[in-house]
Structures are given as structure tokens and as C-alpha cells.
């Protein structure tokens, strides 16, 4: 990368140089609009308030300097080595592209799983960007310009299909720039349970994920994310949700490792009586940098949002949390609760947290709390007095601290995997 070229120039050149920019493509208009939007907005600098603590632009620039993405490489995917041995639909992404051929899709009652590509794109022209229009940023635009073979999941009315597991598999001999795109649309009175996890084998990965969720009346969705990445990989994960009346959305985000992880969670409660539960746990060591930015926008009365993020930060890791709650004029009887608790275990660990409330309605109950502290000396003493050594006493307390964030993880196999990961880490 030459000095005079900006990151946006490099991205734009990459687009025009790749096979995505076919002149006769049905996607051409959509992609070129997105590209120019990305260029106009620019990927956020460190001066950008929302990216103040997370210099992701710089990290991407550095990654692109070290080498080019190798588009010719054909990964060798052994699906059986990583899928959960449970009933359900197992959907595989390889280096950011949805691969129906590798996926295990066999229980499809009430489900329509489609690959978003040239041939199917016109079905999604209306839906794409609908959930993200208010939280649209340069990363979303970048994804729009670059994604190939996205995934659409549609859940039919009044159905409760088998659980869905999405695996992001990465393998390359050099750099991988991945732009997975997922659209989820849950029709009225339907319910769906989705788990997402990443598998790293080889290569340096920057992944710019965009997931858009549209929940119709009385729909229900639970999304669990497992972010246990390779220490070279960088993730920017945008989840954009729109909820209609009486719907419920649960999200559980577990971040364990990676070079840098940025989660943008934007939830718009468009109508009355919605419920949103956001749980998160970050358990960090080394130099991992995890940034959780969440925003819940209460637009109509009688909704409830509940947020609980917990962090255990060790080594030279850095944890950033920013939770925003907006209560718009007229959104009376809103209940919004937000809590962020952190345990700092080492000298070099840094925690930046900013729980933010913006409220324009008076008949509401909103609260937020955040704490940063250490393990209680007295609690450790209590356990040690009962014969536990210091390490197991600490592990027991931290396990108890972390456990609360697991309560909404419904898939047993995922729940026990996370539990195990937590206790392994805390040994």
C-alpha cells in the first residue's frame, strides 16, 4: 500500500480488481452505491467518538500492508471435525462465503434457507439494509459492496423449526478478508434459535460481519455468538435488529480470544411491548482487545430491555463497553436496565466503560450500573479457610461471577461448551 493511498482507495481498488465487479451483474448498482457510501463515510478514525478506544482502522491498514488476500487458495474443509453432534441445521461459511454444498440442511420444516447471490438477489432487494438503515455505517457499506454468497434464513409463520448452527470457517495461506452477510427474517408468531461460532485453522483474518434481523409480530429469536478467535484475527461484527410488536430478541455474546473484536449491536424496538435481552461475557487475556457497543432504541411504549455484560480481564487485554439506551418521546412505560461488571486481574489490563442513557420520556424506569473491581479478599479468605487453595478459590468465584451470563443460552451443547471454556480458562 502506498503512502498516498487511503484505506478507502485501497478497498475501492480491491473491489474493481475483483471478480465481484462484473459489469453485467444484477448486483452492480447495489454494490457500487454501497462502495461510494463507504468512501463518503470513511472507515472511522480514532478521533471518531464511537471508535475512540478501538483503533480498528489502523489495525486494518496494517493488515493490508502485510500482504494481499489470496483469492485463489482453495480451503480444505473437514466439516465433521467441528460441527456439533446434535440435531439441527448446520450452515457453513468458508472465508466469508455461504457454502450450501458443505452445509447440513435436513430438518427444514418452516425454514427457508437461501444463498444470496446473483440469481436470488432480486428476492432480497427489499429486505437487505432494512434492519441496518438507522445504524448504517462504513463497515456495513463495505460489507454490502464486498459480500459474495450471503445467507438468508426465513422462518415461516407460527413455526418453531429445529435449531440453526452457523460456522464461520477460515483457512488460507495468507490474508483473508471476509464479509459474511446474513439476513434473518422471522415471521409472526414464529421462533428460532441460532448459534454462531468461528473456526480458525490457518491464515490471518479480517472479518467484517453483518447480520440483519427482522422480527415480525410476536416473533421470537435467540442468537448466541461464540467468539474464540485466532490471536491474529480481527473481527468487526455488526448485528442490526428491528423488532415489531410483541416480539422478543435474546442475544448472548461470548468473547474469549482474538486480536481485536468489535461488536456493534443495534436494536430498534419499533413497536409496543417488545422485549430484548442482551447478555455478554468477555474473558480476556494476552493482548486481546474486545469492544462491545450496544444500542437499544425504545421508540414506542411498554417495552422492556435488559442488558448484562460481564468481563474478566487479565494480561494486557483491553475491554471496552459502551451501552446506549434511547427512550424516544412518547415511549412511556419503558423499562430499560443495563449493567456492566468487570473484574480486573492484572497490572496491564485496561477497562473503558461508558453506560449511556438518553431519555426523552418521563414515565419510565431506567437504570444502569457499572462496576470495576477485584475479587473480594474476604470471599477468597472464606474459601481458603475451608481448605481450597488460592487458585481454585479464585476460579470458583470467577466461575460464579461469569455464570449469570449463561442463563439465556438454550442449546445445551453450546451451554456446556462455554461452561467448559470458562472453567478451562480460569484454572
Partner 1 sequence: MSKDDQILEEFTSKEYEHGWSVDFEADEAPPGLNEDIIRFISAKKDEPQWLLDWRLNAFRQWKDMVEPKWPNVTYPSIDYQAIKYYSAPKQQKKPDSLDEVDPELLKTFERLGISLQEQKRLTGVAVDAVIDSVSVATTFKESLSELGIIFCSFSEAVKDHPELVKKYMGSVVPSNDNYYAALNSAVFSDGSFCYIPKGVRCPMELSTYFRINAANTGQFERTLIVAEEGSYVSYLEGCTAPMRDENQLHAAVVEIYAEKDAEVKYSTVQNWYPGDKNGKGGIYNFVTKRGICAGNHSKISWTQVETGSAVTWKYPSCILKGDHSVGEFYSVAVTNNFQQADTGTKMIHIGKNTRSRIVSKGISAGKSQNSYRGQVHVMKRAENARNFSQCDSLLMGDKCGAHTFPYIDVENKTAQVEHEATTSKIGEDQIFYCLQRGLDEESAVALIVNGFAKEVMNKLPMEFAVEAQKLLALTLEGSVG
Check residue 384 for interaction with partner 1 (CB under 8 A). no
Residue of 146, 364, 418, 426 that binds partner 1 (CB under 8 A): 364
Q: Which C-beta is closer to partner 1: that of 189 or that of 332?
A: 332
Smallest separation, CB 403 to partner 1 (Å): 21
Q: What is the dihedral of CA 212, 9, 227, 72, to 10 degrees?
A: 100
Provide the minimum distance between the beta carbon of 317 and partner 1 in the complex, in angstroms, as a whole number: 11
Q: Which residues contact 288 (CB under 8 A, 6 or more apart)?
A: 231, 255, 257, 258, 259, 260, 261, 315, 317, 318
Stretch that binds partner 1, among 18-26, 188-196, 352-360, 405-413 (CB under 8 A): 352-360
The answer to the question of residue 353 lying near partner 1 (CB under 8 A) is yes
149, 117 contact by CB (below 8 A): yes
Q: Which of 345, 269, 334, 282 is nearest to 308 (CA)?
A: 282
Please say which residue, 151 or 351, places its beta carbon nearer to partner 1: 351
Q: Which of 176, 261, 349, 418 binds partner 1 (CB under 8 A)?
A: 349
137 binds partner 1 (CB under 8 A): no
Give the nearer residue to partner 1 in terms of CB position, either 354 or 384. 354
| Cα(39)–Cα(41) distance, integer angstroms | 6
If binding is defined by CB under 8 A, does position 375 make contact with partner 1?
no
Q: Residue 351 interacts with partner 1 (CB under 8 A)? A: yes
Per-residue burial over 173-186, b = 16 or more CB atoms within 10 Å of its CB, e = otherwise:
eebbbbbbbbbbbb
**CB closer to partner 1 out of 102 and 357:** 357
Q: Which 327-346 residues touch partner 1, going by CB under 8 A?
A: 329-330, 332, 342, 344-346
Q: Which of 3, 24, 49, 378 binds partner 1 (CB under 8 A)?
A: 49
Locate 23 and state its grid cell: 459489469
Q: In the set 14, 59, 162, 359, which binds partner 1 (CB under 8 A)? A: 359
Alpha helices (H) in 18-77, listed in sequence order: 28-41, 56-66
Give the angle 124-129-132 at the CA atoms, nearest 5°.
145
Q: Is 286 in the site for partner 1 (CB under 8 A)?
A: no
Nearest CA to 300 out of 357, 364, 216, 223 is that of 364
DSSP states of 185-213 as a string?
EE-TT-EEEEEEEEEEEEEEEEEEEEEEE
Residue 378 interacting with partner 1 (CB under 8 A): no
127 binds partner 1 (CB under 8 A): no
Number of residues in contact with partner 1 under rule CB under 8 A: 35
Q: Which is nearer to partner 1, 107 or 370 (CB)?
A: 370
Q: Which residues bind partner 1 (CB under 8 A)?
A: 49, 329-330, 332, 342, 344-347, 349-374
Amino acid at each position: 500500500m502506498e503512502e498516498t493511498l487511503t484505506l478507502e482507495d485501497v478497498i475501492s481498488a480491491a473491489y474493481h480488481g475483483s471478480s465481484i465487479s462484473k459489469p453485467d451483474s444484477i448486483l452492480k448498482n447495489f454494490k457500487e452505491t454501497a462502495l461510494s457510501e463507504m468512501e463518503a463515510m470513511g472507515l472511522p478514525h480514532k478521533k471518531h467518538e464511537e471508535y475512540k478506544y478501538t483503533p480498528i482502522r489502523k489495525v486494518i491498514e496494517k493488515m493490508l500492508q502485510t500482504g494481499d488476500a489470496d483469492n485463489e487458495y482453495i480451503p480444505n474443509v473437514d466439516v465433521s471435525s467441528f460441527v456439533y453432534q446434535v440435531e439441527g441445521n448446520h450452515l457453513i461459511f468458508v472465508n466469508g462465503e455461504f457454502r450450501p454444498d458443505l452445509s447440513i440442511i435436513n430438518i427444514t420444516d418452516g425454514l427457508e434457507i437461501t444463498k444470496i447471490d446473483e440469481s436470488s438477489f432480486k428476492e432480497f432487494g427489499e429486505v437487505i439494509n432494512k434492519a441496518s438503515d438507522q445504524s448504517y455505517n462504513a463497515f456495513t457499506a463495505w460489507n454490502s459492496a464486498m459480500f459474495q454468497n450471503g445467507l438468508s434464513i426465513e422462518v415461516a409463520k407460527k413455526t418453531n423449526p429445529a435449531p440453526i448452527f452457523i460456522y464461520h470457517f477460515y483457512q488460507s495461506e495468507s490474508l483473508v478478508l471476509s464479509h459474511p452477510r446474513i439476513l434473518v427474517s422471522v415471521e409472526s408468531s414464529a421462533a428460532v434459535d441460532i448459534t454462531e461460532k468461528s473456526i480458525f485453522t490457518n491464515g490471518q483474518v479480517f472479518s467484517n460481519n453483518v447480520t440483519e434481523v427482522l422480527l415480525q409480530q410476536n416473533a421470537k429469536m435467540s442468537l448466541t455468538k461464540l467468539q474464540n478467535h485466532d490471536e491474529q484475527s480481527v473481527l468487526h461484527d455488526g448485528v442490526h435488529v428491528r423488532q415489531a410488536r410483541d416480539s422478543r430478541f435474546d442475544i448472548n455474546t461470548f468473547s474469549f480470544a482474538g486480536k481485536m473484536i468489535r461488536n456493534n449491536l443495534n436494536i430498534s424496538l419499533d413497536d409496543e411491548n417488545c422485549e430484548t435481552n442482551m447478555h455478554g461475557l468477555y474473558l480476556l487475556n494476552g493482548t486481546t482487545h474486545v469492544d462491545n457497543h450496544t444500542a437499544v432504541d425504545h421508540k414506542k411504549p411498554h417495552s422492556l430491555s435488559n442488558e448484562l455484560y460481564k468481563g474478566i480481564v487479565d494480561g494486557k487485554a483491553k475491554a471496552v463497553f459502551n451501552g446506549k439506551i434511547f427512550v424516544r418521546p412518547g415511549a412511556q412505560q419503558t423499562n430499560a436496565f443495563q449493567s456492566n461488571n468487570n473484574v480486573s486481574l492484572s497490572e496491564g489490563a485496561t477497562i473503558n466503560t461508558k453506560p449511556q442513557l438518553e431519555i426523552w420520556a418521563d414515565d419510565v424506569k431506567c437504570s444502569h450500573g457499572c462496576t470495576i473491581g477485584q475479587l473480594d479478599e474476604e470471599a477468597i479468605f472464606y474459601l481458603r479457610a475451608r481448605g481450597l487453595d488460592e487458585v481454585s478459590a479464585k476460579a470458583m468465584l470467577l466461575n460464579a461471577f461469569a455464570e449469570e451470563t449463561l442463563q439465556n443460552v438454550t442449546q445445551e451443547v453450546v451451554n456446556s461448551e462455554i461452561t467448559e471454556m470458562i472453567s478451562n480458562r480460569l484454572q
